[in-house]
Amino acid sequence: MSARKPTTYRDAGVDLDAADQLVQRIGPAVRSTYGPQVLPSHGGFAGCFRLDHDNRLFAGTLRDPVLVSCTDGVGSKVLIAAHTNRYDTVGIDLVAMSVNDLLTCGAQPLFFLDYIAIPRLDPERVATLVEGVAAGCKLAGCALLGGETAEMPDLYHRDHFDLAGFAVGVVDRERMLDSRRVRPGDLLIGLPSSGLHANGYSLVRRLLLRRAGLRLDRAAPGLGRPLGDVLLEPTTIYVRPVLTALAHYRRRPPIHAMAHITGGGLPGNLPRVLPGNCDAVVERGSWSIPPIFGLIEHYGVDEEEMYRVFNMGIGFVLITRARSAATIQRLLERAGTTPRIIGRIRRGRGRVEIR
């Protein structure tokens, strides 16, 4: 009987040499996100972060620090990245979806971890993904403290992959936002989105690609650039402008609550920060809606459904005391964004009216 050739892990679809190559490739991008809070990790199995080190915005003033954490993914937007063979933006989306959630508590992001699941480890492709994550961490002012890449050839189709992210931030307990402070007469300040962000892509792919037959590599009507570029526009990270506005106030700021507008749009996300005796009234026409939303509506989605699924051009909302709204707008503008008063709070039952 002839001896069989020994079976290796590579024969089963997992390439350990490629994994080692990837670690070397992504090192500079990961280290570029480190500040003095990140300590050397000699064992290499976990990241270490000093919580008591002075930081740029809070400058050691945390009297009663509260850690805030959240996790999210990019959803089926990754399929657009795979179809276009472009992987440089969805890592930014991954960071944005978590750090923008942290921000709603008034928290400053401290560090981020990523998880990439992929059928075959292509070091170039995964390195580009991680470099995007590192770029997002820089925009958010946090460290990419660690991550994991799982090669699973039997679980994912050839070009498919998935992303998950995990963020931890900190806020002084006395400065945490409390939606119970929201009251009638407060104003809604909306911050613009860059487009779809990372929500609604199952509907977008079904409608624009399969039903309408639009090409990702060609300009779609009214967009002026390839559809794939528009769909891969990364989610806006709101951390720096919003934290700058919060830091202007020594004590609890006059911003009563904040909402990250993700899946469910304004009607689905604003109620999460409304007390039971208040409604939010959102005024149509008070902000500019990016053309991609008009394209989607044109191909067969009614307006009510558009607002239920997509952010419609508003990615983040601050609910603020009316007499402070002008000051907060100026602070946000100086920090590089374009806020708009998009509505107000009135007595009600915790609902949103878009009119």
Averaged confidence pLDDT in the chain: 90
Residue 106 and residue 219: Cα distance in Å, rounded? 39
Average pLDDT of the segment spanning 180-188: 96
Query: How much of the chain exceeds pLDDT 70, in percent?
Result: 91
Nearest in space to 143 (alpha carbons), one of 60, 55, 58, 71 = 55
Question: According to the model, what pLDDT value does residue 18 have?
Answer: 66
pTM here is: 0.91
pLDDT tens-digit series, residues 292-316: 999 999 999 999 999 999 999 999 9
User: Over the stretch 226-264, which tens digit does the pLDDT of each residue have?
Assistant: 999 999 999 999 999 999 999 999 878 899 999 999 999
Is residue 221's pLDDT more than 90?
no
Q: What is the pLDDT of residue 59?
A: 44
Residues of the chain with CATH 3.90.650.10: 179-354
Binned at pLDDT 50, 70 and 90, residue 60 comes out as low
Q: Region 56-71: what's the mean pLDDT?
A: 75
The pairs formed by 121-125 with CB atoms below 8 angstroms and a separation of 24 or more are 121/14, 121/15, 121/18, 121/19, 121/22, 121/149, 121/151, 122/18, 123/18, 123/21, 123/22, 123/25, 124/25, 125/87
Q: How far is CA 112 from CA 45, 94, 139, in A?
A: 15, 10, 12
8 Å CB contact between 1 and 100: no
Provide the pLDDT for residue 269. 96
Residue 28: the pLDDT is 80
Give the span between the Cα atoms of 150 and 138, in whole angstroms: 24
What's the average model confidence in pLDDT over 57-74? 80
- Inform me whether the pLDDT recorded for 12 exceeds 60: no
The more confidently predicted of residues 52 and 247 is 247
- Domain 179-354: give its CATH superfamily: PurM-like C-terminal domain (3.90.650.10)
What tokens appear for 217 in the block?
Answer: 């590599």
- Tell the burial category of 261 from Cβ atoms under 10 Å away from its Cβ (0-12, 13-18, 19+): buried
Average pLDDT over residues 91-102: 98
| pLDDT score for 127 | 93
CATH topology of domain 10-175: 60s Ribosomal Protein L30; Chain: A; (3.30.1330)
**Residue 55 clears pLDDT 60, i.e. is over it:** no
d(CA 279, CA 349): 6
| Residue 172 vs residue 100, higher pLDDT | 100
In this predicted structure, what is the pLDDT of residue 54? Answer: 54
pLDDT(9) > 60: no
pLDDT of 48 reads 85
Q: What is the pLDDT of residue 13?
A: 61
Dist. CA 42–CA 135, nearest whole Å: 25
In this predicted model, what pLDDT tens digit does every residue of 120-153 receive, in sequence order? 888 889 999 999 999 999 999 999 999 999 988 8
Kindly report, as residue ranges, where domains of CATH 3.30.1330.10 are found in the chain: 10-175
